[in-house]
Chains A and B, each alone.
Chain A
């Protein structure tokens, strides 16, 4: 039966298109910076064009924020911190955050379409994961705003001041929520710098902040590129820098923030190991591996990009895995049937392509999904490498794309050793029906998060963040408050 299925025409089954309407996004032609509660033109009137990665065509123009725009935003945040937000009772701050959560829920469909257009991720994911989790994050931290003394970070916790927050393009709205919600709950004010290629959902969020009547200046949003982010990091009026992005940029940011005496938290890259023991429940495990690496096109810092399989089941797991990967539906991100969407940018596509080429050159065996790829836009077919060794670049470097490297191990000790053989330490998965061994392995993995018999689970109540060069500081849960509180 298994073999028949593997060679059947399941992968070629025809689906009728089920596209969500792009018009729901209600995009404007251009957006300014959001400072002091209002959209204003950037000082130098420079703009960026943000693209739909699924077509390569332009969606909207956004401000290319300069150092003087950052300066205005920080001044606005400082004013709001001094005059309103830090003085407001936690119970009142809470009600603003609850409003934001409710407004995100109310405008969920619009936000999902905006996110999918700007990022390229499947609408199924933006609709069911990104947007609901963003709302949940505000809802959760709203509840902390008047309970800070119960969080375990001192009897009289105080906010840090103005937080400069720089977020990546892989989960644009969700990362904005992860940054803003705990900072605001703790009484800080914020200057948020969305990613260069995905600024739009943060700008819809700015409209939501207006609808919530959040006091002006409490949140300021300055779009732009790396220079905008650098201006924020360098700004003397910023007390804390929170960054999510690559380890390479994180290093630079930490250096500068340390030199300036700023508080800093970093959520950086990863090379997560998904460890499969011989007794793992196979159907759930195959789904979990696929979800672990192909969720969000693999643009996930905690992606399970290394599959470590116990040697005696490796052939069977690989066979089942390849069959499943071949059935992934790659294409129009707005189509509700799509599993894997577009690569976010030409730059990222080039990086993935380059690393995949080294995989072949270094002798790993490449398996590529037979799916057809659209002719316009940025696309990469789901790819699995077997016969990978720990020294190859595809086993060591973060690819940040739909590419899985499969390695094998024999004993639990070897699994732990191989999983930990990386400069990163963000997340790992363990698949086994034997709970005691899973916990034994989990205790020895040097990772901030370990998922057992599941992968890529996120919840506002659960802390997330890395060890080693995956960064420090936690987002989510009670622990997430610590990054924004002083004792």
Chain B
């Protein structure tokens, strides 16, 4: 009996809750850590970026209109989906990053636990970042954290899953919609998480995952006027250039290379605005 031939998978962009090829028809070759051909992944174009931002803008309003408890449950659902596909994710991390199997599994486990960590934040941010302000007058004054809006994330190049989770989930958890550019050379773990997000009750367009070139996609995102913030985690030596572009529409920018403790809320706070309300008090 001959050996069964495996079914090869075509990797597509995750855009507005659907899986699409790049409108440009372009792909680029992804190699595994040993330099062998792995996949032809879609190379997102400027038009794909625009489509993703339009989808994200529309989805953000829906996402933020849900209760924080509901958002927390949806993010937790993503962890449930990822847990069920843990082995698959670990194989991808192993193949992409060249880790041994136990290290890859640990890396995936930490990533999934991180999703759970963020799920818990969704309904606690207001209590930790917001609060009543004791103004000197007959006013009830309070501040609430609100999302910046549409956040672009240039994900880390080396850590294909764990860092992807951290960078993409932080703005999501605060109520933003995200357009994430997965690691250029190691995009499949990020694309997989994008696939899982489609089956985890996340409204389409809240998390869009692109594969493509940091240079071109990064520039399109950084200069897009309808993007409110950009995390340059994986932008490498292009970070300076992209952050200059981002200033064009006063984007909130998270620079790469900031080390922070695992329990830090620094990344969470990067794409949060403070909205303050004054209300009179009187008979």
Q: B-contacting residues of A (Cβ < 8 Å)?
A: 91, 94-95, 98, 136, 139-140, 142-147, 149-152, 412-413, 435-437, 439-440, 443, 459-461, 477-478
Contacts and interface: CB of A to CB of B under 8 A. Distances in A.
A94 B124 contact: no
Contact of B116 (A98, A140, A152, A477): A98
16 contacts: A91-B113, A91-B117, A94-B120, A139-B76, A140-B69, A140-B72, A142-B120, A143-B72, A143-B123, A145-B120, A146-B117, A150-B265, A435-B280, A439-B279, A440-B138, A461-B68
Given A140-B123, A478-B124, A436 B69 contact: no
B212 to A, nearest CB: 33
A143 B69 CA distance: 11
Contacts of A139: 69, 72-73, 76
B121 interface: yes
Interface residues of B, number: 26
Given A139-B69, A143-B123, A440-B282, A95 B116 contact: yes
B121 A147 contact: yes
A439 B281 contact: yes
B76 to A, nearest CB: 6
Pairs of residues from A and B, 3 with the lowest C-beta to C-beta distance, nearest first? A143-B120, A436-B280, A439-B281
A147 B119 CA distance: 12
B128 interface: yes
B263 A146 contact: yes
A437 B282 contact: yes
B140 interface: yes
B127 interface: yes
A436 B119 contact: no
B111 to A, nearest CB: 12
Interface in B65-117: 68-69, 72-73, 76, 113, 116-117
A477 B128 CA distance: 11
A477 B124 CA distance: 8
A150 to B, nearest CB: 5
A143 B121 contact: yes
Given A136-B69, A478-B127, 17 more contacts: A91-B116, A98-B116, A143-B123, A143-B124, A144-B120, A147-B120, A149-B263, A413-B283, A436-B280, A437-B282, A437-B283, A439-B281, A440-B138, A460-B69, A461-B123, A461-B124, A477-B127
Contacts of B138: 440
A29 B76 CA distance: 37
Given A136-B69, A149-B263, A461-B68, A440 B116 contact: no
A76 B283 CA distance: 56
Nearest to A151: B128
A387 to B, nearest CB: 27
B281 A150 contact: no
Contacts of A413: 283
Given A91-B113, A136-B69, A461-B69, A146 B282 contact: no
B70 to A, nearest CB: 10
A315 B279 CA distance: 32
A412 B282 CA distance: 10
Nearest to A140: B123
A144 B117 CA distance: 9
Contacts of A147: 117, 120-121, 124, 263
Nearest to A95: B116
Contacts of A95: 113, 116
Nearest to A459: B69
Contacts of A136: 69
A147 B73 CA distance: 17
A149 B263 CA distance: 9
A94 B116 contact: yes
Contacts of B76: 98, 139
Contacts of A144: 120, 124
A164 B73 CA distance: 30
Nearest to A462: B127
A413 B116 CA distance: 49
